[in-house]
Structure 1
């Protein structure tokens, strides 16, 4: 049986002109919702077959009653005002994306104001379902974030990696006043090879993750901690004096010294040698500052390990 096409009504007791049946066939064949609503009263003047299948028959209801969920009045997000020019006349079309509040699906909407046959201003919207496209975009964004995270994060400890550390430090140095001090710590775990040899590389990985956790607990949000490579960590302290940086280094050393790592029923003790250097932001070369901290760290190792050494004037 052939379905009888609805009559396109522009006002009560007024039917569409000849040729409307062909127009309705075209509109009902579209794989998109098409509707017309009065821009003042929000009366739903027309809804094509796709729209009726999605949201039901209009039955004299307003557009916000048919197309949306839980609305007690016109939608707050209604963009009718954007469809009119400064003189209140129909303006350019507006294309936007929207997640419908009733069916939860995403639509790309093309809205335009027109003058209806009886002189009233009406809004015409063509809404195409783009839910699958949005899902693909979200998947691609998530994939991009995962790749970005891998590019800037150490996979084992989830700290910044060396590349990200240099980028973050340079960004901070560019923002800080020249007279502010910038401090760095280079931290090398003592006898880490012996831990791997005695307990296995899985135990060594566990120690690295635990060291990262212990250090993070002692730091501010503005501090920049990274796994510099192997068993070596780097820490940048923007706006921190040499004395304050040295005090923090000692806290980190003691926290590590006091926290044996439990692994596979064994207790693994870890210590670290730490070198500290600092310079004013206006004079600092990040590479030279790290080199100076590195020299202080090796001095700590030569002096017996498990200690903090501050850069000397010669360094």
Structure 2
């Protein structure tokens, strides 16, 4: 296993190595300086001592002293410095003329250094003790006495010996030596640190930066950093960075999957489905073959969510996915576009074959029971088919065609298969046009509140107003019936509700109509969105004289109530606690109307105008209105009759005992401004 070091250890190691290297250099340099100083100083001192000894002996010889007297001089010279020894040896030339000595002859014959010095070589040697041999060279003055010699001959050798401790190195030499040493030491330390840190830190970091740049430039999350280093911290950077890349790659792959797949079912999402569809269009154009796409919308799926809960709804969507997937080919593309809407791409499949596939999906779905809690349910779906290139040659027209066909199947009674024709295409264009009109109207603040008065039938007093949505189009105003269906299908209904509620409440405050009941129509999406609650509570907080008869009433459409009975029961119960009243609108238009009286704790029942407007001439309508009023009265609810257009109708309602009425007899809707 490869071992790594830390920066702390690296720095300590570098300092120790530098210190040891410096000490080694200092030691070697010190030895060199010492030897050089000793050699130079010893040579100077020994030569000086030798010259002094020679001059002393020469002066004695000029006076004609005997050799015994000369020996005495040498003895006295040795006594001057106890640790220094001075000897003088005669050469054969001097011995021949003045006589020889046994000691000199012995030294001349056996001492190698003396032999070399007798030949004229100046010798300096020794470590602990310095020995200097100074040859005495015959000059012109010496010839007068030494007649047998000639200039350049050697008359003798002066041998000086003394210990090294006697030498004193100069201060200048020492200072210069230390200056040079510290300069070299500093240079060496910085050089070692530079090369070591460059190799172990700078180069790995540069390598790390290059690899990061490469990963970024190529967007290659699979690449990993590999650094050549022995430093543990650098290796940890490599390891943790690679772990971070692992996490990023994992998140990247998950995000990529989420961008392509539906999180719940694992099917392709709308974006990916459109990519496949675009590719298939190009492929079909190149090979000249047809293909089919399907749009699938589950019938009454909202009922499952509302009755069993969203968790059960998710389970159903997964089961439906399995049913569809098990009845398709491997080459077929199944996608979930959102909510309970699915899409299928059938490559190289013309309409006839595609219809057979759809019928298979429809029948299998209808025949498969799905276990849900303690119950079993069966589902149906509405299927729309579009064929390339008959229903369109581009992605927009194909998606529009299949969508139209799917809506056509729903309008045909659900659990059916439909194919869009030219009239459907024209209808889609019209819906798109109306949708753009609605979008502009909202953006340009052209949604306006109108009010229609509601009167007490028995007293004839004004009771309140129903606030209605209108869209200003030039000088005219469009009624809700002209746009509300498109608004609901395109998701604009909630926004329109919010605008009307906000403006209606504001004008009610400005006019001070706190004693009038205001009725607002809200769509199911607005009711379950809950945004209206805060608006109404804020409105109530500014009421200077709050009373039980000056509140806000939300009207619930019977056709919308059927989709979420339990949810509406909870909303009504919670909202009534904060002073919001509720009314069942268009009561009697559906088969389940009287059932809602049992479950919904509403305050008002608005009798459908279809029963009211002909009440004078139609006995059956009169009976319906009478019984609706009686039942509502027994449930403790007030009744409001719609479409009251004349005095005769009002008189019949008064006889029946209906509480309130609204219609053209009292006045048409007016702009609330």
Q: What is the TM-score when the length of structure 2 is the normalising length?
A: 0.29
Report the counterpart of residue 292 of structure 1 in structure 2.
401
Do the aligned partners of residues 281 and 31 (structure 1) sit closer, same or farther apart at CA in structure 2, a change above 3 Å counting? farther
Answering whether residue 303 of structure 2 is matched by residue 181 of structure 1, we say no
2:369 and 2:282 mapped to 1: Cα distance?
39
Q: Which residue of 2 aligns with 1:157?
A: 265
1:180–1:281: 8 Å Cα contact kept in structure 2? no
Cα shift at 1:253: 1.0
What SS is found at the alignment partner of 2:264? coil
Distance 1:107 1:199, change over 3 A: closer
* Residue number in structure 1 paired with 2:411: 302
Q: Secondary structure at the match of 1:155?
A: coil
Q: Secondary structure at the match of 1:246?
A: helix
Q: Which has the larger radius of gyration?
A: 2
Higher share in strand: 1
- CA offset at residue 281 of structure 1? 9.5
How far the C-alpha of 1:26 sits from its partner, in A, is 4.1
Deviations 1:174-217 (A, max 9, x none): 33444121211011111112222222222212111111122122
Write out per-residue CA displacement over residues 109-129 of structure 1, whole angstroms, 9 at most, x where no aligned residue: 67xxxxxxxxxxxxxx99974
Please give the per-residue CA displacement for 1:47-83, whole angstroms capped at 9, x wherever unaligned.
xxxxxxxxxxxxxxxxxxxxxxxxxxxxxxxxxxxxx
Q: TM-score, normalised by structure 1?
A: 0.58
The 5 A counterparts of 1:113-262 are: 129=235, 130-178=238-286, 179-262=288-371
The 3-state SS of whatever aligns with 1:108 is: coil
After superposition, the CA RMSD in angstroms is 3.8
* Number of equivalenced pairs: 220
Residue ranges of structure 1 left out of the alignment (5+ in a row):
6-18, 35-94, 96-105, 111-124
Contact in 2 for aligned 1:182/1:281 (Cα 8 Å)? no
Whether 1:108 and 2:216 are equivalent positions in the alignment is no
Aligned 8 A contact 2:362 2:415 in 1: yes
Contact in 1 for aligned 2:291/2:348 (Cα 8 Å): yes
Q: Is the 8 A contact 2:200 2:230 kept in 1?
A: no
Answer yes or no: is the 8 Å Cα contact 2:292–2:388 preserved in 1.
yes
Q: Secondary structure at the match of 1:276?
A: strand
Query: 2-side partners of 1:239 and 1:314: how far apart?
Result: 27
Query: Can you list the C-alpha shifts for 1:124-148, whole angstroms capped at 9, x where unaligned?
Result: x999743322211111011112222
For the Cα contact (< 8 Å) 2:290–2:350, is it kept in 1?
yes
Which has the bigger relative contact order, CA under 8 A and spacing at least 6? 1
- Structure 2 portions without partners, runs of 5+: 1-12, 18-187, 205-210, 212-223, 425-673
